[in-house]
Amino acid sequence: MKKLQDILYKVAIKQVFGPTNILVNELVFDSRNVVENDVFIAQKGVNVDGHLYVDKAIALGAKVVVCEKFSFDKKEGVTYVRVEDANRALAIMAANFYENPSTKFPVVGVTGTNGKTTIASLLYQLFTKAGYNVGLLSTVKILIGTKEYKATHTTPDSISINRYLDMMLEDGVEYCFMEVSSHGIHQKRTEGLSFAGGIFTNLSHDHLDYHKDFATYRDVKKNFFDFLPTSAFALTNIDDKNGNYMLQNTKAKKYTYALKTVADFKAKILEKQLSGTLISVDNTEVWTKLIGVFNIYNLIAIIATAELLGLEKLEILTIVSQLESVNGRFQYIKSDDGITAIVDYAHTPDALQNVLETINNIRTNNEKLITVVGCGGDRDKAKRPKMAHIAAFLSNQTIFTSDNPRTEDPQHILNEMEAGVSPEHYNKTLSILDRRQAIKTACKLAVTGDIILIAGKGHESYQDVNGVKSNFNDLEEITNCFNQLKKN
C-alpha cells in the first residue's frame, strides 16, 4: 500500500475532491482490472475513453479516480483528482509508485525508425558479455538478467515500465537498454523516467497512420531528446539528415556517430560478405557477424554508447566480434543444396531498401534474388505501393503476400501494393494471399545459389487475421521448406 499524496508528487493537478492522505493499493488504467482500494486513471485512448468507465471502476472498488474532466456524478468515499494530462499523470504516478527506479541505475533509451531493437539487444549482449547484470526492454522480449518476459509493445505502458525497472533493481541489474517508440513518446509513457542517455538511429517513412505527417512524427522523436537531463548523453546518427535536428534543444551532452561524415565516433567498412563484415574503428580492424551498412551504423552506436558508459575501448571491440545477430534481423539459413534464405523485420520502405541493397552489394548477380513481402493491415497505407516498388525494382522475382492483415481485406492490401509496381517489372511479380504458400512458392522457384528474402515479420511468431493470432513464424516456414527439399 502507498500513500496517495506521495504518488501524486509532481503531477500537474487542477482540482481535488476528497482526502489525499490515504493508502491505496495499485495504479490501474483498465477498469476491468480494478480491485478494492485501487487508483483508476481515466485516459483518453485512440479508440477508447477511460472516462466512460469511471463508474464501473468505482463499482469494482476504486478508491481514487484520476481524470481530465468531471463528466460523471461524484460518489461518497471516493477521492477525485482532475489533472491536465492523464497520460503524463499516469507516467509520473507510476514512477512515484515504484519509488523512481530509473534514477537508481543507468537507463539508456533508443529511438528512431529502424535499428532500435538491434541496438538495444546488442547493448544487452555486449554488457552481459562484459560481466554486468543487464536489463532489456525491447520489441522482441524483456530481459531481467537471464529471466525472460514476453513483450507486447515496443514501449510498454508506464506502469509496466516502472514495474520492470523495479524488478531489475531488486535483481541487481546495473544497466538497462530500452526501445523508445514514437507511440510511447507521444502517449507520455516514458515521462517520469530518468534516462542516462538517448540514441537516435535514423528517420524514415513509418507510423504516418498515427502521426498523420512526417514533421509530426519527427518532432515526437525529438521530444525524447528535448527532455533528457543535463547529466545524460544524447548520441545521434549525423549521417541522417534529421540527426542534428534531434539535438537542437537538448540539455544533454551531445555526441555524434557516422560512416560518411566527421563525427565523434566513426567506423569504416573494409569488406562485406554474407557471413559478416570487416570494419575499422580507430585504425583497429574488427570482424563482426552483422551484415549490411545499416547494421554497421547500429554497431557504431553500440560502440559509442559502451564507451560513453565507461567501458574500455579494447574490451568493447573484443566483445563486438562475438555479438550475434538479433532474432528476425537479417537472420539467414542455407539449404543443403545451397539456397540462402534471409528473414528480416523490414516493414518500412527504407528498411526494405536497406536490406535489398545490402544483399545486392554482396551477391555476384549470377543468382536470383527472390523477395517475399507484405504490408500490415490497419496501418500506414501510404507505404504499401512504395514497398512494392522497391521490392520489384531491387529483386529478380517478387511475391506479394499477407503480413498481418488484421481487420483489413488482405486482397485489398495486395491491390494497393501492386499499384506501386512499374510496368517494366510486372512480369517478375506474383501475388499469393497465403503467406505459407508464398514462402513455399519462393522455395520452388529457387535453385542452387539463389537468395530468398522473407521480409516484414522477422521475429514475430504469429499472424494476425481479423483479431485472431495464429502461430506463424517465417524462419520456421522456410526451414520446413528446406527440409522438404531435402526429402525430395
- Separation CA 362–CA 274 (nearest Å): 7
Max Cα–Cα distance, the chain, nearest Å: 78
More confident residue, 251 or 44: 251
Q: Which residues pair with 3 in a beta bridge?
A: 23
Q: All 3 cell numbers of residue 424?
A: 517494366
Handedness of CA 211, 216, 218, 223 (dihedral sign): negative
**147-150 and 107-111 as β-strands: parallel, antiparallel, unpaired?**
unpaired
3-state helix, strand, coil in the chain (%, to 5): 35, 25, 40
At 212 the pLDDT is 61
CA distances from 52 to 10, 17, 49, 185 (A): 26, 19, 6, 25
Mean pLDDT of 418-432: 97
Q: What percent of the chain has pLDDT over 70?
A: 97
Name the one residue in this structure whose C-alpha cell is 529483386: 395
Q: All 3 cell numbers of residue 94?
A: 507510476
Is the predicted pLDDT of residue 175 greater than 80, yes or no? yes
Q: How confident is the model at residue 159 (pLDDT cuts 50, 70, 90)?
A: very high
Q: Dump pLDDT digits (tens) for 257-312.
A: 999 999 999 999 999 988 899 999 999 999 999 999 999 999 999 999 999 999 99
Cβ burial 252-273 (10 Å sphere, 16+ → b, else e): bebbbbbbeeebebbbeeeebe
Q: Dump pLDDT digits (tens) for 202-233.
A: 998 554 455 467 788 888 899 999 999 999 99
At 207 the pLDDT is 46
